[in-house]
Structure 1
Amino acid sequence: MKNCPVCSGQELKAVYTKQGVEIDICTSCEGIWLDKSEIYYFVKDSNYVYEALCAAIKNRKATTRKSPITGEEMVELPLFNSSVMIDYCPKTGGIWLDKGEITKFPANQAALDVDKGFFKKDNESSEKVKPSRSVVAHAAGLLPLPNLALSSTMVLVGMYSLLTLGLITAVEFAGVTPGMALIVGIIVALIQFLLGPFLMDLSLRWIYAFEWVKPESLPEHLRAFITKISQENSIKFPRIGLIHDGGPNAFTYGHHPNNARIVITAGLLELLDEKEIEAVVAHEVGHVVHWDMLVMTLAQLVPLIFYYIYRTLIRMRSRGRDRSAAARYAIAIGAYILYIISEYIVLWFSRIREYYADRFSGQTTGAPGQLASALVKIGYGLAGRDSSEKKDEDSKRSAAMKGIEPLGIFNAKHGSTLALASGISSKSMGGEIDKDTLRDVAKWDLWNPWATFYELNSTHPLIAKRIRMLSNLSVVMGKEPYVEFDERKPESYWDEFFVDLIVQSLPWLVALAWCIFNGVSFVMTLLNTGTWASTSTLSGANFGTLVLLFGVGYLIRTFFAYPDNQFAPMNIKALLKKIKVSAIRPVPCKITGTIVGRGVPGLIWSEDFILQDETGIIFLDYAQPLGIINFLFGLLRAKQYHNQEAEVIGWYRRAPVPYIEIKEIRTAGTASSCYVYYAKLIWSIILMIGGILLFFV
């Protein structure tokens, strides 16, 4: 709870701005509280304001006003030749602005653009609405999931029916022999199912520092727990593997429940407490008990075979007058469409089974909150710590895990870009995770349409949604939910989403418009003159117009995705509170912290980094125009940055997890710049010049 430093006992109210950032206001005195670095979201020239703040801190004066965060006395800062007096919290870096002070900032460089409609009296009454969806859902009982057995049967029967239809069509109309079609299905199925686990065993030994652990070598509590749930579910004690790596993760694979392998990392054992470890293992056992290994293998075969059919038909060469060529290409396109459809069905199916594995864990342990806590630590990189805990540099763990994806605790594709502010204040309760910070980060998952877009392409549900389901299970079981995501979305974020989508697709939309225009022109010419085409439709000038317009679209997209005017000083927590952010709509930022590890733990040529500041950890994406440069940098230079204090200038993005694309990275002894932005600018200019040359040639 944050209290107003002016009005005694008045609680501050959290509101959302049009910039997509949450701030705190006092509805009584109309003052505004901005957490550290948040002011830079609202000013024109962030560097100008930063320098003014740094200068003002040297001339600070004592004040009796108390910080809404710490309750300690703040200081008064004279800004812009003392034309503005603000209150500043030295411990947290937060700023208090009295009513009217936002209008005193210099208009041309530091004008504060903060919404003015927050203080209307009807704004308070608008919050007195019907209960949140979360409360209503809990009252209705356990949130429903599709029946596991029925959905499994329908998905497998439906997809294999489509596969059978596709094979029959290929046999009848595309010249594919029945024997070939049958062999394709059998070979792919056998390789995938029979050899898959053994290939996984080999890859673990070759790629990771890995070993199989005997049951008696496991921690006593974990051995007893696995023995108990194995006996309860009539399965053999699974084979346990350990990856000696600081990245926290767990996954399972195998042929059937009685030869299942469960692999965990050393980082998981270090990061989680005993109950959380048991909850994660119970999640993996849930996959085993539900036969997910076999079911998902069978499901994943269908899109694989459709893609094989597509590639085979496309590569078949025509001989003489091949009358089946048109049918073959049509079937190839149909096979590719079915491949895409079946892929999304498999992804949906996988997400459903993840929910069931989560529910199995919560019901088996009797404490769904333990798995929720583990998901936050693993998937978001957030760990609560005791205030008395020794913060030794060697104990800082990477939050990234570029691991294997089969039936894991979270999506490994997204695991390499994890961050969440630790948000632990001096008054936090021991090792508890700060729930307010968690809610701030989860809002992007729950509100931004891009989150849904990314989830559709993921094997795992968004972590915020999994935590919400586990909280619902806790309430139904009569236990305290781990966290409630009960805030109502303040606005629709679809307008920004569609703008992002249009800009992202702009070069191809231009090309599509060119094709439609010329297609219509071609048809009109054919209808009016009876000739095959006019010379202008297929001319070099017309094609040059396409290349020129494509280059212009590419340039606009590059400028949108790489704003290069202001790199505001930020911290990780302030970045994570931003909701209106995506892979194409970034936040230019400058951030300082310690490089605590590589992006892929243990991989000697990993060029990416993990950075930690006083508020959290975040993934740094080091990217050059050529992949070989990334490889050489990771192999030869990246280790020089480890455990170094670094200043990073770049673009903060979220897709779906947070990361910063590096523009420049500097330490005391070394520095490096990335040139993807400049390469894209050059490429767009080359396209435009090429289009102009084609137009006049």
Structure 2
Amino acid sequence: MPSHAELSLEAGLVALKQGNYQTAIAQLEPVATSQKNTTAGLQAQVGLVMAYARMGQVSKAIALCQNLLDSPNPQVQEWAERALGHLKNRQKRQNTAKNSANGHVAANSTNNNGTGASQQTITKTNSAAVPAGSLRNSHVETIGVNGLVASGYRAVAKSFQIYWRHAPRAKVWQPLHKLNLLPLKLLAAGTFMALFWVIREMLQLTMTLTNQIFIKLAHLRPLPLFNRNPTVLVLVVLAIAIALSPWLLDWLLGKYYQQRELSKEVLNGHSRETIRVLQRACQQRRWQFPKLRILPIKAPIAFTYGNLARNARIVVSQGLLEQLADDEIAVIYATQLGQIIQKDYLVMSLILLVTLPVYRLYQLFSEWGNKFSGFGRWPAIILASCTYGIWCLLTGPALWLSKLRVYYSDRTAAEITGNPNALIRALLKITIGVAGDIGKQEHTSWQLESLNLLAPVSYQQSISMGSLAGHIPFTSLLMWDNFNPYRRWFTFNNSHPLIGDRIQRLCKIARHWHLETELHLVNEQALRGNHQPFLLQIAPWLGIPLGLLFASLIWLVWQIAYAMKILNLKWIYEDWSFVIGSLLIGFSIGIILRMNSLFPDIKPANLQTDDRLPNLLANPSAIPIDSINVCLAGRLIGRPGVGNSLGQDLMLQSHIGLVKLHHIPWLGQSINPQDLIGRQITIVGWFRRGATPWIDIQTIQTQNGQIINSAHPIWSTILAVAAQAWGAFIFLKG
């Protein structure tokens, strides 16, 4: 149970966020007095400085800042020194504007020159709305100084601090060189064709299987309709879906996600700059003001859908408005404007319209299956797993477009607002907010996963990066994204580009405008890679072209032997299916070659523990084949029950942060990891550093001694043997 001081601190910070400064002072003063140099006491004193300043009690704020100069915490000292300078300047200049509606105490008057730029502000508290009595889930930030953020874990109430440099924005800036949108448009067209092909093939397979079943049954005849080519039907349906997508998505998101309209007045209360940015951008292009929507979820997300600029909808979550600052909200809205300008949102809206009903079916099957136990669950497990697989297939065609369009929208947002540094902060805060939401709920919410393709940041990226923020500098967390020579190979099946790559590009824009950057990243230069481990990593896929080369040589040898009448096996090798056999054999050999490196023996002396997790993530040269042996303790979290039958949402919540888990069950196991969700466990396995870090589990052990083994090496061996046997059969049989 939280202590009385923790409850008072939380209540005071929430009151500060809501602008109720008298209540905030009443709640924070006792904590600041009784717990002077503790983390809670320092948080309370920082909150009091802001509350006093906003109440006009500048002398009290100055006195408290002077006390904080003697704090044992160096970051608090730095904050107090900077805040003290602003407060003394304000005391000298009583005509300084005070903006209590937005929670600002401005150090200089806002620049309303039409560029959206503003002068340096003292502080802003940005705390997520939290349930009463839950200090551990609070998210408090001191903009321009230190963010005092609680970790969000139920197991350990451990505080950490995040320093935001608050690098400036451009007051006057030159437009960037004009981008060539042709690659984006071609990729959007290719995405549409790929989606059409996937839907058509799935429909064709369904119709064919249905008729085959009817043929096998004695009293039923195959349906003539199912023998027709569905190409025209699929094209017509997709065209109608594009035409109606804004209104159909309005209905779907309103019914199942509680989406509602967001008024300009409410948005203005969170970010006055956003309204100015939207109005200016729309007036320049002679557009109507976009329709604004909001989702009542705590995770910070934003996305856009529609088919024309005049009926585009920009959707944000409640969490985004609460966890981001004024200029950061504005720049996220500018990214959504960029997607409207680029017109890529049309295809993405179609993808969302097609996938949301399928995902909803998966959710319904999961909830239905959770009502049963034992053998009665199996029909729901099969249905939910198959539906989830279909959802993954339908989202697959949009992965490349989802990655590429983000680069364009980031650049457009920076150009519209002149504030690339705010976008850097926004992206990092979104990762923190998403990880905090996952940690709080102890699973990935349905909304996060189903809307992930259109979100500003992938939730998979946020799991480790967002939860470790504060334990290690962002520059260290992003080193892998910036310097690993093979990093882009590991984003092949990701829905978003690497955050470090995006931030590096935004830093280049800031330097182009002669701005200090929010993060001091070294100029992008990849490390010199060791090709041998990487070639071993991709050995199964290299085996495929090598198998093709082997098939070509075999074909040439048998053709020569037949022509010279040495050996007549042409009756076998005139059937080109032997090429498929060669490809399978090559793939199998690749799996076998990398087996020992991918799953080395785990020795107790070499095990890395929880405290080493930040260093493992920061290693810029690591790739998944490095297979670092780890032993981590924490709480197993993830989606409970049928919805996690494939193990797609398993995570370890340690006192350091979150990390993704991969588990492959073995036949005959009486207990599965889903049965242990919410319990304290110890994981032994192989840590892999890719675009999304994860651990391949060897064993899971509970506190009472239960052990679950994961069969990664066994299933890899079975896959290799099966591919070898099948390939040899095809190769010899023809």
Normalising by structure 2, what TM-score?
A: 0.52
Say yes or no: does 1:465 pair with 2:514. Answer: no
Match of residue 263 from structure 2: 215
Say yes or no: does 1:598 pair with 2:663. Answer: no
**Aligned AA for 1:293?**
Y
Going from structure 1 to structure 2, the CA distance change for 1:416 and 1:209 (only over 3 Å counts) comes to farther
Give the match's secondary structure for 1:563.
coil
- CA distances 1:406-430 after superposition (whole Å, capped 9, x unpaired): 5431356x547543563536xxxxx
How big is the shift at 1:375?
Answer: 1.4
Q: 2:449 aligns with which of 388, 394, 402?
A: 402
Going from structure 1 to structure 2, the CA distance change for 1:159 and 1:210 (only over 3 Å counts) comes to closer
Match of residue 701 from structure 2: 666
In 2, the alpha carbon distance for the partners of 1:544 and 1:259 equals 52
Q: 1:282 aligns with which of 334, 345, 348?
A: 334
Match of residue 193 from structure 1: 242
Q: Once structures 1 and 2 are overlaid, which stretch shifts more, 609-618 or 415-424?
A: 415-424
Q: Is the 8 A contact 2:696 2:712 kept in 1?
A: no
Going from structure 1 to structure 2, the CA distance change for 1:199 and 1:494 (only over 3 Å counts) comes to farther
**Aligned AA for 2:465?**
A
Q: Is the 8 A contact 1:209 1:243 kept in 2?
A: yes
Q: Is the 8 A contact 1:251 1:406 kept in 2?
A: no
How big is the shift at 1:464?
Answer: 1.4
Match of residue 623 from structure 2: 582
Q: 2:657 aligns with which of 616, 628, 640?
A: 616
In 2, the alpha carbon distance for the partners of 1:410 and 1:530 equals 63
Q: Is the 8 A contact 2:273 2:326 kept in 1?
A: no
**Aligned AA for 2:529?**
Y
In 1, the alpha carbon distance for the partners of 2:728 and 2:404 equals 52
Match of residue 280 from structure 2: 232
- CA distances 1:158-189 after superposition (whole Å, capped 9, x unpaired): 99999xxxxxxxxxxxxxxxxx9995796265
How big is the shift at 1:489?
Answer: 4.8
Match of residue 568 from structure 1: 607
How big is the shift at 1:404?
Answer: 2.4
* Structure with the larger helix share: 2
**Aligned AA for 2:597?**
F
Q: 1:556 aligns with which of 581, 593, 610?
A: 593
Q: Is the 8 A contact 1:148 1:353 kept in 2?
A: no
Say yes or no: does 1:651 pair with 2:686. Answer: yes
Q: Is the 8 A contact 2:599 2:686 kept in 1?
A: yes
- CA distances 1:74-124 after superposition (whole Å, capped 9, x unpaired): xxxxxxxxxxxxxxxxxxxxxxxxxxxxxxxxxxxxxxxxxxxxxxxxxxx
In 2, the alpha carbon distance for the partners of 1:187 and 1:194 equals 11
Give the match's secondary structure for 1:646.
strand
Match of residue 179 from structure 2: 147
**Aligned AA for 1:663?**
Q
How big is the shift at 1:284?
Answer: 1.5
Give the match's secondary structure for 1:624.
coil
**Aligned AA for 1:371?**
L
* Structure with the larger strand share: 1
Going from structure 1 to structure 2, the CA distance change for 1:684 and 1:606 (only over 3 Å counts) comes to closer
**Aligned AA for 1:194?**
A
Match of residue 512 from structure 1: 548
In 1, the alpha carbon distance for the partners of 2:651 and 2:449 equals 13
Taking the TM superposition and a 5 Å limit, the aligned residue runs for 1:257-272 are 257-269=309-321, 271-272=323-324
In 2, the alpha carbon distance for the partners of 1:535 and 1:396 equals 61
Going from structure 1 to structure 2, the CA distance change for 1:399 and 1:298 (only over 3 Å counts) comes to closer
Q: 2:482 aligns with which of 433, 442, 446?
A: 446
Give the match's secondary structure for 2:515.
coil
Match of residue 377 from structure 2: none
**Aligned AA for 1:675?**
A
Q: Is the 8 A contact 1:279 1:362 kept in 2?
A: yes
Give the match's secondary structure for 1:593.
strand
**Aligned AA for 2:329?**
I
Match of residue 681 from structure 1: 717
Normalising by structure 1, what TM-score?
A: 0.55
In 1, the alpha carbon distance for the partners of 2:328 and 2:695 equals 30
In 1, the alpha carbon distance for the partners of 2:659 and 2:525 equals 26
Give the match's secondary structure for 1:665.
strand
Going from structure 1 to structure 2, the CA distance change for 1:422 and 1:680 (only over 3 Å counts) comes to closer
Give the match's secondary structure for 2:486.
helix
In 1, the alpha carbon distance for the partners of 2:669 and 2:461 equals 23
Match of residue 367 from structure 2: none
Q: Mark the runs of 5 or more structure 1 residues left unpaired by the alignment.
A: 1-68, 71-137, 163-179, 302-342, 385-390, 426-433
Going from structure 1 to structure 2, the CA distance change for 1:675 and 1:273 (only over 3 Å counts) comes to farther
- CA distances 1:305-324 after superposition (whole Å, capped 9, x unpaired): xxxxxxxxxxxxxxxxxxxx
Going from structure 1 to structure 2, the CA distance change for 1:397 and 1:535 (only over 3 Å counts) comes to closer
Give the match's secondary structure for 2:595.
helix
In 2, the alpha carbon distance for the partners of 1:370 and 1:629 equals 50
Taking the TM superposition and a 5 Å limit, the aligned residue runs for 1:284-363 are 284-294=336-346, 351=403, 353-363=405-415
**Aligned AA for 2:502?**
R
Give the match's secondary structure for 2:277.
helix
Q: Is the 8 A contact 2:548 2:583 kept in 1?
A: no
Give the match's secondary structure for 2:699.
strand
Give the match's secondary structure for 2:558.
helix
In 1, the alpha carbon distance for the partners of 2:193 and 2:453 equals 25
Instruction: Report how many aligned residue pairs link the two structures.
Output: 476
Going from structure 1 to structure 2, the CA distance change for 1:422 and 1:689 (only over 3 Å counts) comes to closer
In 2, the alpha carbon distance for the partners of 1:546 and 1:604 equals 33
In 2, the alpha carbon distance for the partners of 1:379 and 1:299 equals 24
**Aligned AA for 2:260?**
W
In 2, the alpha carbon distance for the partners of 1:562 and 1:396 equals 29
Going from structure 1 to structure 2, the CA distance change for 1:248 and 1:572 (only over 3 Å counts) comes to farther
Give the match's secondary structure for 1:479.
coil
In 1, the alpha carbon distance for the partners of 2:413 and 2:725 equals 60
Q: Is the 8 A contact 2:504 2:521 kept in 1?
A: yes
**Aligned AA for 2:427?**
L
Q: Is the 8 A contact 1:252 1:406 kept in 2?
A: no
Match of residue 430 from structure 2: 378
How big is the shift at 1:356?
Answer: 3.4
In 1, the alpha carbon distance for the partners of 2:463 and 2:301 equals 14
Give the match's secondary structure for 1:419.
helix
In 2, the alpha carbon distance for the partners of 1:380 and 1:243 equals 19
Going from structure 1 to structure 2, the CA distance change for 1:264 and 1:598 (only over 3 Å counts) comes to farther
- CA distances 1:587-621 after superposition (whole Å, capped 9, x unpaired): 232222344x4269996768423333343332223
**Aligned AA for 2:422?**
Q
How big is the shift at 1:481?
Answer: 0.6
Match of residue 82 from structure 1: none
How big is the shift at 1:357?
Answer: 2.0
Q: Is the 8 A contact 1:471 1:481 kept in 2?
A: yes
In 2, the alpha carbon distance for the partners of 1:397 and 1:242 equals 22
Give the match's secondary structure for 1:557.
helix
How big is the shift at 1:190?
Answer: 1.0
Match of residue 54 from structure 2: none
Say yes or no: does 1:419 pair with 2:465. Answer: yes
Going from structure 1 to structure 2, the CA distance change for 1:449 and 1:527 (only over 3 Å counts) comes to farther
Match of residue 479 from structure 1: 515
In 2, the alpha carbon distance for the partners of 1:369 and 1:291 equals 25
- CA distances 1:468-494 after superposition (whole Å, capped 9, x unpaired): 222223334443211132167584115
Q: Is the 8 A contact 1:143 1:472 kept in 2?
A: no
User: With CA pairs under 8 Å and 6+ residues apart, which has the higher RCO, 1 or 2?
Assistant: 1
Going from structure 1 to structure 2, the CA distance change for 1:246 and 1:663 (only over 3 Å counts) comes to farther
Percent of aligned positions that are identical: 22
